[in-house]
Structure 1
Amino acid sequence: MKLSKILLSGAAICAATSAGAVDLEVMHWWTSGGEANAVSKLAEAWDATGNTWVDGAIAGGGDTARPIMVSRIIGGDPPAAFQFNHGRQAEELIDAGLLLDLTEVAEANNWKEIINPPSLLDACTIDGKIYCAPVNIHSWQWMWLSSAAYEKAGVPVPANWSEFMETAPKLQEAGITPLAMGGQSWQQNGAFGVMAVALGGVDAWTKVNEGKDAEAVMGPEYTKVFEAYGAAREMAKGLNVQDWNQATSAVIEGTAGAQIMGDWAQGEFALAGKVAGTDYECLPGLGETGVLSTGGDAFYFPVNSDADITAGQKELAALLVSPEVQVSFNSAKGSLPIRGDVDLTTVNECTQKGLDLLKDGKTIPDAASLLSPDTTTQLNDLLTEFWNTPAMTPAEVQQQYADIIASAD
């Protein structure tokens, strides 16, 4: 559905409570235990200014939340702010003139100088204007492993994907599912993306995702990835959960050995009182190719006819990027801050691994910034079909994947 011809009504869903203080409804999909803990840090910081954070959490993840948010906005009943991922998800809303220009806020607070890597702010910038406030760096490029599960199986915690596959039969013998995977399609596509970088290499991944090179999909590097993905499907049998945090809980509880999931999983480990390096281990790039994808979350602000609300939106945007909020929120979320001038001396060893990769420049763009939402949806559907169809071979899904990339935008 194109939005370019849809006009925003003047209706304001947020009312000024008093001069200088406003209630702002903020919509997001952070509803797991760790995520809710993290978003509470943002709410507390906003409430401390004398304003009020009206929480608009939507369960079910981004695939469920985004259509609801867009419907609210184009229907003339927008929230004051909403969470999207960095990338191309808000392009049509911006083209339709429905989102607030934050360039003035960004310039007043030196965002171009403090936000790192610059690609995060670039993802918020259209035609030279800045439309979102990045709040974190989230990377998909992680594998989380349960120390208790491997201790029960009598084998060391793997240091890479090859060792994971070698030790998987021992876990199965001990009644442990080697690989935890939830039932939502974005989880299966996300895990495939991690495997593509780790096992196929950055060059091949870049050709496919940035260059839209269908021939690269059919090349030997990606053939290796699809075969490994087929093997991973076998390692996930026996655990029937839907949400990503349920799969993470299986690793926390030791009923599953590992999970390929973004660094937001750390928020669940932290909430459960688990200690990195003791209760769980983490492998960036599956221990094979150590890179960090620089995706994450940003907040956008719909245009509003109420001047007090607009002023509050700009105040909130600045607050989200402030040093104190960056530390408190990202420490709880398991993500990395979007500014390098904050004190991170207390972070755990997994977060430190991420910071080291960021410092060394070992980063890649997030796929969401390279592929359109439509292409991403097609890949989600294809990979979840493969994951749930044992008769479908890696060669078959490889060809269909290439067909999607050939027509990708």
Structure 2
Amino acid sequence: MKTQIMRRLMAGAAALAMPIAANAADLEVTHWWTSGGEANAVQELAKAFEAKTDHKWVDGAIAGSGNTARPVIISRIIGGDPMAATQLNHGKQAQELIEAGLMLDLTDIAEEGNWAEIIQPKSLLDACTVDGRVYCVPLNIHSIQWMWTSNAAFEKAGIDPVNNWEELKAAAPKLREAGILPLAMGAQGWQEAYLVHNFLSGTSEDLYYAVYRDKDEDTLNSDAVKAVFEELNAARDMYAGGNVQDWNLATAKVINGEAAAQVMGDWAQGEFALAGQKAGEDYNCLIGMGGEPSISTGGDAFYFPLIDNADTTAAQKELAKVLISPESQVAFNLKKGSLPVRGDVDLAAAGPCMQKGLETLAAGKVITGTDQLITPDAVGQIQDLMAEFFGSDMSTEDAHAAFVEIILNDE
């Protein structure tokens, strides 16, 4: 399979060798930021690019999640119809594209901008680096270890807001009696897979790394990992009746007080902000799902497909500089809910939830994201497994056994 992919990549590289008739001032930028909060955030990047340069941002938003957008993005690149810039996640998603020579080398501007010193944590720049060369611009730090709760929902149920996952489980019966959904979640495997990752990291960093980095068979079959699947069973019960697909629709249930909680990445903040809600008053953000705080170092990065046009290449590098600029880092991340990758920007305007993330980052409570520890194929298989588990009566034992097999076979 990998050989077939590489042949397609090299064919795409040959197609790119031909001159491309394009307006170098117009850069098509693809991404999957289409919810209300995300759209507000990405506009900050477009405005900054057009204000600081003579070029135009041509928005190429792709509706749906990254799972929908990434195949479209990759297909265009290897098929010889590349965009000028594209969002991808930190990790291994672009490695074969880089190896096939389809991505622009940004090492010169990374050195000029001293990225090695300003980008924190260092692992984000490492994820952009292949054989000592830099191929992407880290844009933000996204963490998935959050639980968002609605104060209105608990008030309606006549109980105090919860402070952690265990308290949410205990409150679930009273929430159901009051007509409140205990746990909102979109019926998509990538959302459901977040629970697996969060339960593992919430148990301990050692357990998380033993599973995803070390792929230790004894650990995978331990009682600690089996307990994670019992928690997934509890989540399945609390989630029953949610009846939405997209993550932002699940967030809307929390915003509207129809659901008590959602386990979702920090980008949910953008939806609360768009709805005019305030942390601590209308909703609460529980990092580590109320347990030991830690954040993953995943997030978004921009890659620039190689285009045989000197003017376009120059414009691409100007966009790269704008994305990493202090002004763009602050404006984008304040609206997106993520953390900046620059360690030298002023975030005095950050709200309580972002401050929690910054404090956790400063304390060194950082774990490597799963996208950087396991292959995209394994990520997809775990998502498929979770979609099957949450959409059926699959036993926890069967789900656990399938999970173990996925991890042990990941190469």
By the TM > 0.5 criterion, same fold?
yes
Amino acid at match of 1:114: I
- Correspondence 1:107 to 2:111: yes
Q: Secondary structure at the match of 1:341?
A: coil
Partner of 1:116: 120
Using the alignment, how far apart are the partners of 2:96 and 2:42 within structure 1? 27
Once the two structures are overlaid, the 10-residue window that deviates more, 331-340 or 45-54, is 45-54
Shift of 1:6: 2.6
Q: Return 5+ residue gaps in structure 2 as ranges.
A: none
Aligned-partner Cα distance in 2 for 1:105–1:288: 40
Q: Give the equivalent residue in structure 2 for 1:205.
A: 208
The reply on whether 1:332 has 2:316 as its aligned counterpart is: no
Structure 1 residue corresponding to 2:79, chosen from 72, 75, 92: 75
Q: Tell me, in whole angstroms, the C-alpha distance in 1 between the residues paired with 2:290 and 2:21.
A: 47
Which residue does 1:84 correspond to in 2? 88
Structure 1 unaligned residues grouped into runs of 5+: none
Give me the whole-angstrom Cα distance separating, in 1, the residues matched to 2:54 and 2:157.
Answer: 53
Q: What do residues 334-387 of structure 1 show as CA deviations (whole Å, max 9, x unaligned)?
A: 000001111111111111000000000000000001110011111111111111
1:13 Cα deviation from its structure 2 partner: 6.2
> 2:81 & 2:162 partners in 1: Cα distance?
50
State the distance in 2 between where 1:92 and 1:190 align: 25
Structure-to-structure mapping, 1:351-366, within 5 angstroms: 351-366=354-369
Q: Which residue of 2 aligns with 1:5?
A: 10
> 2:292 matched to 1:289?
yes
SS of 1:24 mapped into structure 2:
strand
Is 1:158–2:162 an aligned residue pair?
A: yes
Q: 1:151-230, aligned counterparts within 5 Å?
A: 151-198=155-202, 200-230=203-233
2:264 maps to 1:261: yes
Partners of 1:246 and 1:273 lie apart in 2 by 16
Give the conservation status (yes or no) of the 8 Å contact 1:135–1:326.
Answer: yes
Aligned counterparts of 1:181 and 1:196: Cα–Cα separation in 2: 19
Aligned partners of 2:99 and 2:190: how far apart in 1?
26
Report what 1:403 is aligned to. Answer: 405
Q: Deviations over 1:287-316 (max 9, x none)?
A: 112101110000000001110000011110
Report the residue type matching 1:293 in the other structure.
S
* Matched length: 403
Q: Distance in 1 between matches of 2:94 and 2:380?
A: 15
SS in 2 for 1:282: strand
Give TM-score, length-normalised by structure 2.
0.96
> What does 1:4-83 correspond to in 2, within 5 Å?
4-8=9-13, 9-10=15-16, 15-16=22-23, 22-48=25-51, 49-83=53-87
Question: How much does 1:12 deviate?
Answer: 6.3
How far is 1:15 from its partner? 2.6
Name the % identity: 55
8 Å CA contact 1:214–1:403 kept in 2: the answer is no
Indicate whether 1:236 and 2:239 are aligned: yes
- Map of 1:393 onto structure 2: 395
Q: Is the 8 A contact 2:175 2:181 kept in 1?
A: yes
In the alignment, what sits opposite 1:128? 132
> Is contact 2:12–2:77 with CA below 8 Å preserved after alignment?
no
